Structure 1
Amino acid sequence: MDNKAHILSTATLPQPLIDKMKAAGIAVEVLPFIKTTWVNDEKKRKQVAGITDKTIVFSSKNAVEAVAEMTKNMLHGNIYCVGKQTAELAHKYFGDQIQAVANDATGLAEIMLQEKNIKSVTFFCGDIRRDELPELLKKHKIALTEIVVYTTIVTPHKAEREYDAILFFSPSAVESFFLVNKVNSTTILFAIGNTTANAISNKTDNTIMVCEQPGKELLIDDMIRYYSTINKTIS
């Protein structure tokens, strides 16, 4: 009898994380529900090269990767990031310029508002981005320049089986998944952060487990601990 937990990841995962789940007795299927593409044409490169703001915001690793490619890692300013992994990647490419990190966009905006010297901000983002940070900054009269450096395309798939748990890493993946799928009432839904959890709660009343700090590995560690606690993965 197969008593392993069967998990669906709605985003690609590094092989070490897949191996980590397998070692914990968890069967995982990886089926990406979104695709991201960098915007890296001449017009966009000139726009990025011409920024004059000293304050820069990244809300995702995708934005960091796209800007690093366009600038050849030559970006200078006071950098603010949503998520620990976003900050770690920004530090890798742009050095010791990270000023603050928060778990979500609202938290980051609140940190920035406490710093009275910030008058203007450049926000590197995707074409589908949350409104919280831009609205809070604009509400407090901080000039905001948004530069879209990647696009997100939904790639919905019909799930072929029921899962014990599903891992969600973005609101866009939530939207893509529920376009063509429903979930069993007993399926546990793991969310990488509060905005993703809110997107899930708009689709279903299932139990949602929210990662305290955004990060793929942190979410998977939470999920492994959850199943270790209920002894579901013992075979």
Structure 2
Amino acid sequence: MEEKNQNSQAPVLRCSNIHKYLGKGESEVHVLRGVGLELQPGLMYSIVGPSGCGKSTLMYLLGLLDRQDDGDIWIAGQDMAKASDEVRTDVRNSSIGFVFQFHFLLAEFTALENLMLPMRKLQKLSDEQMRDRAQSLLDEVGLGNKAHRLANQLSGGEQQRVAVARALANEPAVIFADEPTGNLDVKNSTMVFDLLRKLCHEHGQAVLMVTHNQNLAKLCDVVLSMQDGEFVENSRESI
């Protein structure tokens, strides 16, 4: 079956032969067993599989939050396998956005200020430019009129929409979403997922989502099934 939104561009992320071990000696576990993957811009991917199969471990490695024991990762054309911590931090700030199950907004900051934080860290825009971009992103997620509300004055669904907008703040090449709707009711889960998919297709980021929600997973452009630290053969299924 052909992929939706077929794209001939170079992948924004690719990895090959990724291995990860946890523990030592007799308690050592081979969590990832030679995983390979390519993410194309403007497509949304989901990884599904039982708990403990390595889904989140892979995401954290690809997001440069941890290092693999073997294998290669390229992000936006840069080799991350032997890159210094400083280079990895720079790439993570400039090329990667994250949406987690919990929004991790700073309660004492407004929605607008929370969106400006990753931009301040990157230090590429003036204060006025950061405010304008943050306001524009809040408008896109339907929260433009709540820009100056404190994070703890927003509902759970609104907080997660702010988290989605924050992931886009620095115009990353790829967004990682780890159970992004796992803490929401059905209505807000659908809203946040639809928003993430819409922004992915419109802005051209690749989105990789780990989820136990089969219904949402099947709405992604590509579904990858993982079991025992490997992608199941012929699991790269277009919906």
Q: Normalising by the residue count of structure 1, what TM-score does the alignment of the two structures yield?
A: 0.26
**Larger radius of gyration between Structure 1 and Structure 2:** 1
TM-score (norm 2): 0.25
Higher normalized contact order (CA 8 Å, seq sep 6+, divided by chain length): 2
